[in-house]
Amino acid sequence: MIHRYDVIVVGAGGAGLMAALYASRGARTAVISKLYPTRSHTGAAQGGIGAALGNMEEDHPEWHVFDTIKGSDYLADQDAVKILCEEAVGMVYELEHMGLPFDRTPDGRIAQRPFGGHTNNATQQPVRRACHAADRTGHMILQTVYQQCIKNNVAFFDEYQVIDLLVNDAGQVAGVTALHIDSGELYTFHAKATIFATGGFGRIWKITSNAYALTGDGVAAAYRRGIPLEDMEFYQFHPTGILGLGILLTEGVRGEGGVLINGEGERFMPRYAPTVKDLASRDVVSRSIYLEVRAGRGIGGKDYVYLDVRTDTVNKYFAQDDVKNPDGSPRRITAQDIRRKLPDISDFCKTYLQLDPVRSPLPIQPTAHYAMGGIPTNNNAEVIIDAANTVMPGFYAAGECACVSVHGANRLGTNSLVDILVFGRRAGQNAAAYAGRADWPALPAAPQEPARAALEAIRSGNGREVVAQIRTDLRALMMDNVGVFRTADMLNEALDKLRDLKDRFSRISIMDKGKRWNTELLEAWELGCMLDLAEATAVAALTRTESRGAHFREDFPERDDANWLKHSLVYLESDGQIRMDTRPVVLGLYEPARRVY
Amino acid sequence: MKVKVKVRRFNPEKDRRPYWREYKLEVQPTDRVLDLLVQIKGYQDGTLTFRRSCAHGICGSDAMVINGRNRLACKELVKDVGRTIVIEPLRGLPVIKDLAVDMAPFFRKYRSILPFLINDEQPPYSERLQSPAARERFDDTTKCILCAACTTSCPSFWANDSYVGPAAIVQAHRFIFDDRDQGAQARLAILAEADGVWRCRTIYNCVEACPRDIDITTAIGEVKKAMLVE
């Protein structure tokens, strides 16, 4: 069965919906998503969207640009960052015009809070740049953009799992093959332009903030079709996940004054980041937590620390640091402020920890959170396939699955929400324009055959290996060997074990042989994607013999601009071999400098 | 601790009617009910079918009936539900397979109340101003995650599935009481029809079911009141 649309968008989070909203204004557009759109993981974003509105205090897009580049450890492409930060301001206004219920200042403007790595460039102090709707900003963005898609009659194919990217003999992308989860039937979606907005792949790590859905299917589908993946070694661990569960506690908790406390009762971040302390960028804070734990200063000597947002603690450090309100008065908080500004966080802590954050410190540990790397694109969200920036005709990507690169080696908090909307919009606009001038790309011969064969191999497998066990082993391996601290030995061991896991994966069997709603089949297929991306990540991490941003090699602890101020590209060759290449970083605004917070 | 999980099963390709299947497993008191389902699916019975995604109460995928109450499986902990856990699909929506129900009728109701800001005035370049009090007016109903726990707990909805249901009214409330919106009259007209708000009999099941603690009956009451004032 075939559907034809000028533009198809795969994924219905913020990037996909924004792309669809804009594409639908100029082209016949459909969104394909394995979830109902409102289930997408954009909805889990909490603290805010960064934009230099300057509503609370002086701020400038140029400061946002500098902070993002510094946060990226100078690996971000600076022209892309400029677009991100300049378009952020208009994007936040556009969201407000769409109806997004931002919190407000007393004079009715959009309220903003401090976030890690966002600073007043003159004073180096944290700046209020994160525009927020309580601690459910992502939920509001997802809802609002979905509402606009409904208003504009965007077509949705909900609960369709994309299995394969269709590339024809001319090297054009011609659409996708997707499994209709309800019927179990395969559909060909033939399109002039295909936009991937499929999100990340945090599920390959044991402790993660990511939803079950985030198995990297879109990224893997592109990789398997010979498209390289960029900067896969850079994966962000968010400092404050709930112990054991990985559920995110927003950086907004620290934005509101919360601090990290070790087993000796010490606020330790000033030792690592003397100026912005607990609001250093995420890579720095996560490493600091690990170093405290390693030095035996975890809580009770264990592998976690406390996030403390009790009012006595917060007000003590506000007084010590002489923190001021916008009007110059000393900043203080009450328990009521915390409950009002962080209601969902309070709810998570009560539900999962049986703790009230205004009464008890919260046990936290770093949690796998965000892929800086992904499908390489240029600033028009067109997918590029080599160091010469060759465009893959008809293929676009935006959001976490893509690598523009605006985040470089480490993303600043709030910038993913900017990224999905700014580059989602660009993907939609450019895909629609392309569809307007391009002819229909030919479909490859027997377009559904590879997807059908892949699923059939799983369905008919009769080995003894268990999908859930391989998945558990994979996630533990990635956490232990390809986490915050890495060495060549750890990574080589990971690659050996990954080969073993892949071998076991070839010998799985599943119980559900049916067609309708066969989620066991889909979970097995997703595990294949996870294994491929884990391997790409480990190979890229082994290749980069330096430490930069989120990628920390204990055997190469320094940043090495002479050799490594460049993006990596990892290719899966048709013979199954993995090949690495690089492409240059776009500089032009700020020369790389030592990074101190 | 050891628990028994009884799940109401139905496979449309095999079964003529639903049946119960019981699983025994060893779990932690702080495990989520969702963790139990994931464990069963992974290691005991791969055919067990349910939706899930975020696993912390934000995405709205895993609403189901747990020990008789509509709950998100990811927000219920074993220690709060006991050693025998009975799980059924949401009531009032067609069962597709096991715990997965057909959500299409639910989302049609959502779409019917014009769930988007209506305001044709040219906005300023920057944000429209809105006072904190005006923003607070509709805060509660912005929390809705469209999980359908409320609508499928409502006896009025069970009795008549053409009733628009509490979730759609919550969504309408979110716009009707937003002072930037100008579509209140259109929404109130839709909700004044026979299948609109007046089918609500103030039974409060929805409030008890809501995983986001939205005061749904109050919101519905405010919509009714707005209709009378119009």
The model's pLDDT over A473-516, given as tens digits with 9 standing for 90+, comes to: 999 999 999 999 999 999 999 999 999 999 999 999 999 999 99
Q: Give me the amino acid identity at A125.
A: Q
Residues B107, A96: C-beta atoms closer than 8 Å? no
- Residue range A209-232: average pLDDT? 98
Inter-chain contacts counted by CB atoms under 8 A, chains A and B: 155
- Probe site for chain B from A519, A521, A522 (most B CB atoms < 10 A): A519
- Probe site for chain B from A46, A97, A349 (most B CB atoms < 10 A): A97
Task: Report the residue of chain B nearest A98, measured CA to CA.
Answer: B117
Chain A residues in contact with B103 by the CB 8 A cut-off are: 36
Q: Which residue has the tokens 């919906």?
A: A17
Long-range contact list for B189-198, CB < 8 A, 24+ apart?
A: B190/B112, B190/B113, B190/B114, B190/B164, B191/B113, B191/B164, B191/B223, B191/B227, B192/B227, B195/B160, B195/B162, B195/B163, B195/B164, B196/B164, B196/B169, B197/B164, B197/B169, B197/B223, B197/B224, B197/B227, B198/B224
Q: What is the pLDDT of residue B70?
A: 98
Residues B180, A148: C-beta atoms closer than 8 Å? no
Residues 53-72 of B with CB under 8 A from A: 53-61
Residue B116 Cα, gap to closest chain A Cα (Å): 5
pLDDT class of B124 with cuts at 50, 70, 90 = very high
Q: How far apart are CA A151 and CA A174, in angstroms?
A: 28
- DSSP code per residue over B142-193: HT-----TTGGG-HHHHH-TTS-HHHHHHHHHHHHT-TT---HHHHHHHHTS
Tell me if ipTM is over 0.90. Answer: yes
Residues 89-128 of B with CB under 8 A from A: 96-98, 100, 103, 107, 111, 115-117, 119, 123, 125-128
pLDDT class of B229 with cuts at 50, 70, 90 = confident
> HEC profile for A231-245?
CCCCEEEEEEEECCC
Residues A211, B146: C-beta atoms closer than 8 Å? no
Model confidence over A294-307: pLDDT tens digits? 999 999 999 999 99
Q: Is A156 exposed, middle or buried (0-12, 13-18, 19+ CB in 10 A)?
A: buried
* A8 strand-pairing partners: A30, A194
- Residue range A325-331: average pLDDT? 90
**pLDDT over 80 (residue A73):** yes
Q: How far apart are CA A90 and CA A94, in angstroms?
A: 6
Tell me if chain B has a CB within 8 Å of the CB of A93: yes
Model confidence over A87-130: pLDDT tens digits? 999 999 999 999 999 999 999 999 999 999 999 999 999 999 99
Model confidence over A551-573: pLDDT tens digits? 999 999 999 999 999 999 999 99
Tell me if chain B has a CB within 8 Å of the CB of A155: no
**What pTM, to 2 d.p., does this model score?**
0.98
Chain B residues in contact with A519 by the CB 8 A cut-off are: 41, 49-50
Q: What is the pLDDT of residue A327?
A: 85
Residues A108, B131: C-beta atoms closer than 8 Å? yes
Neighbour tally for A456: CB within 10 Å = 11
Q: What is the pLDDT of residue A505?
A: 98
In this prediction, what percent of chain A has a pLDDT beyond 90? 99
Q: Which residue has the tokens 């715990």?
A: B99
Residues B47, A110: C-beta atoms closer than 8 Å? no
Chain A residues in contact with B60 by the CB 8 A cut-off are: 38-39
Model confidence over B35-74: pLDDT tens digits? 999 999 999 999 999 999 999 999 999 999 999 999 999 9
Q: How far apart are CA A540 and CA A223, in angstroms?
A: 14
Q: How far apart are CA B203 and CA B53, in angstroms?
A: 30
Residue A272 Cα, gap to closest chain B Cα (Å): 32
Residues A103, B132: C-beta atoms closer than 8 Å? yes
Residues B131, A468: C-beta atoms closer than 8 Å? no
Chain A residues in contact with B123 by the CB 8 A cut-off are: 93, 96-97
Neighbour tally for B11: CB within 10 Å = 17
Long-range contact list for A123-128, CB < 8 A, 24+ apart?
A: A124/A275, A124/A276, A125/A275, A125/A276, A126/A255, A126/A276, A126/A279, A127/A57, A127/A58, A127/A59, A127/A63, A128/A55, A128/A56, A128/A57, A128/A59, A128/A326
Residues B130, A104: C-beta atoms closer than 8 Å? yes
Query: Is there a contact between A522 and B52 (Cβ–Cβ < 8 Å)?
Result: no
Tell me if chain B has a CB within 8 Å of the CB of A247: yes
Q: How far apart are CA A446 and CA A467, in angstroms?
A: 29
Q: How far apart are CA A417 and CA A425, in angstroms?
A: 12
Residues B127, A106: C-beta atoms closer than 8 Å? no
**pLDDT over 80 (residue A136):** yes
Q: How far apart are CA A362 and CA A349, in angstroms?
A: 8
HSE, CB side, 13 Å, CA atoms: give it for residue A423. Answer: 35
Paired tokens of A93: 């206004």
Chain A residues in contact with B145 by the CB 8 A cut-off are: 38, 43, 139
A282 catalytic per annotation: yes
Q: How far apart are CA B185 and CA B118, in angstroms?
A: 11
- Residue range A430-442: average pLDDT? 98
What does DSSP assign to residue A445? S
Task: Report the residue of chain B nearest A509, measured CA to CA.
Answer: B46
- Provide the mean pLDDT of chain A: 97
Q: Is A132 exposed, middle or buried (0-12, 13-18, 19+ CB in 10 A)?
A: buried
Task: Report the residue of chain A nearest B107, measured CA to CA.
Answer: A36
Catalytic residue among A128, A254, A282, A287: A282
Q: What is the pLDDT of residue A326?
A: 81
* A110 strand-pairing partners: A104
Paired tokens of A589: 């605004």
Tell me if chain B has a CB within 8 Å of the CB of A98: yes
Tell me if chain B has a CB within 8 Å of the CB of A250: no
Chain A residues in contact with B171 by the CB 8 A cut-off are: none
E strands in A556-595: 566-572, 578-584
Tell me if chain B has a CB within 8 Å of the CB of A346: no
Task: Report the residue of chain B nearest A249, measured CA to CA.
Answer: B56
In this prediction, what percent of chain A has a pLDDT beyond 70? 100
Paired tokens of A446: 């027997």
**pLDDT over 80 (residue B230):** no
Within its chain, how far is the Cα of A473 from the centroid? 23
Model confidence over A414-426: pLDDT tens digits? 999 999 999 999 9
Residues B56, A182: C-beta atoms closer than 8 Å? no
Tell me if chain A has a CB within 8 Å of the CB of B41: yes
Of B30, B52, B96, Cβ closest to residue A212: B52
